[in-house]
């Protein structure tokens, strides 16, 4: 009998491309800390995104704009440690936060290198198309894989004014398709499409050859991503149509904490077996 532990095949950008070519859907979830990354890595997710949604979910800011590169590196390094120590398969993608890559290719390259070197991420993600072409191209010169992000791009919330569905009008839909083709041409390995009509997402996924990961972009794409805290029901006041809640952990955790408080107050905890 073999005593060797089975080593899972690591997900790389090449594996993701093969998954698209073979018609195998890609699963992606967010994590910002060691414990959550252990669970979702052990469960077998393909990609862990250390999203700048940490700004909302972890830090309680209203938008994703305030989170810093230092914050993101802290979160990403915790996630990378979980994947490394447990030997799990996911590709870890670190979001570059607002202000760390736009309009300055040198700064973009420095930010991406910090994410790779200090956090140990396997790739970076950043938002936008033509406007950030030069930054993406410069990052790619360092051999850092880049995931694009089009459609609803939360770092530009003050430009658009709302978080409603993007690219419903022809002009915006055409620009989105052009941007997707551009991101593919310059060398992105995948693109996230957020909150756009399902038929447009289908067209993009059929037109570009790299994997398209959707969130609120319908089923005809190459993979799906959700914010883990939303799909587990840890966050409570966020109910977009695209969100499927698999658990209601907010209520479960609150109930457990209520019980703990009651047990402490009544003297029921700790009991005889729970002491030395």
Residues of the shown chain interacting with ligand KIV in the complex, contacts defined by CB under 6 A: 30, 49, 51-53, 95, 192, 194, 215, 225, 227
> What's the min distance (Å) between Cβ of 243 and ligand KIV?
11
Residue with smaller CB distance to ligand KIV, 13 or 155: 155
Residue with smaller CB distance to ligand KIV, 126 or 173: 126
Which is nearest to 111 in space by CA: 83, 70, 143, 80?
A: 70
The helix/strand/coil state of 40 is helix
> What's the min distance (Å) between Cβ of 143 and ligand KIV?
23
Give the DSSP letter string of 246-269. Answer: S--HHHHHHHHHHHHHHHHHHT-S
Residue with smaller CB distance to ligand KIV, 238 or 269: 238
> What's the min distance (Å) between Cβ of 258 and ligand KIV?
30
Any idea how long the chain is?
276
Q: Whose CB is nearest to ligand KIV?
A: 51
Distance, CA of 248 to CA of 267 (rounded, Å): 29
Report which secondary-structure segment, H or E, holds 174: helix 170-186
Active site residues: 194
Residue with smaller CB distance to ligand KIV, 13 or 224: 224
Which is nearest to 65 in space by CA: 31, 97, 28?
A: 97
> What's the min distance (Å) between Cβ of 273 and ligand KIV?
42
């Amino acid at each position: 009998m073999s005593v060797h532990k089975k080593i899972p095949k690591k997900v790389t950008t090449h594996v993701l491309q093969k998954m698209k070519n073979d018609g195998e859907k890609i699963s992606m979830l967010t994590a910002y800390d060691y414990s959550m990354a252990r669970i979702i890595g052990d469960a077998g997710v393909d990609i862990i995104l250390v999203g700048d949604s940490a700004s909302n979910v972890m830090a309680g800011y209203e938008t994703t704009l305030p989170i810093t590169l230092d914050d993101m590196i802290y979160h990403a390094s915790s996630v990378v440690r979980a994947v490394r120590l447990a030997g799990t398969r996911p590709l870890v993608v670190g979001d570059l936060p607002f202000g760390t890559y736009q309009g300055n290719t040198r700064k973009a390259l420095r930010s991406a290198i910090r994410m790779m070197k200090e956090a140990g991420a396997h790739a970076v993600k950043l938002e936008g198309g033509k406007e950030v072409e030069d930054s993406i191209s410069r990052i790619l010169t360092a051999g850092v894989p880049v995931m694009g992000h089009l459609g609803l791009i939360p770092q530009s919330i003050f430009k658009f004014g709302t978080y409603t569905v993007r690219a419903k009008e022809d002009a915006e839909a055409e620009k989105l398709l052009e941007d997707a083709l551009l991101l593919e041409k310059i060398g992105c390995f995948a693109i996230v499409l957020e909150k756009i009509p399902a038929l447009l997402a289908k067209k993009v996924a059929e037109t570009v050859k790299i994997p398209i990961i959707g969130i609120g972009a319908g089923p005809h794409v190459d993979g799906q991503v959700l914010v883990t805290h939303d799909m587990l029901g840890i966050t409570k006041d966020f109910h977009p149509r695209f969100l499927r809640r698999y658990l209601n952990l907010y209520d479960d955790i609150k109930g457990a904490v209520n019980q703990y408080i009651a047990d402490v107050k009544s003297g029921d905890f700790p009991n005889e077996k729970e002491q030395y």
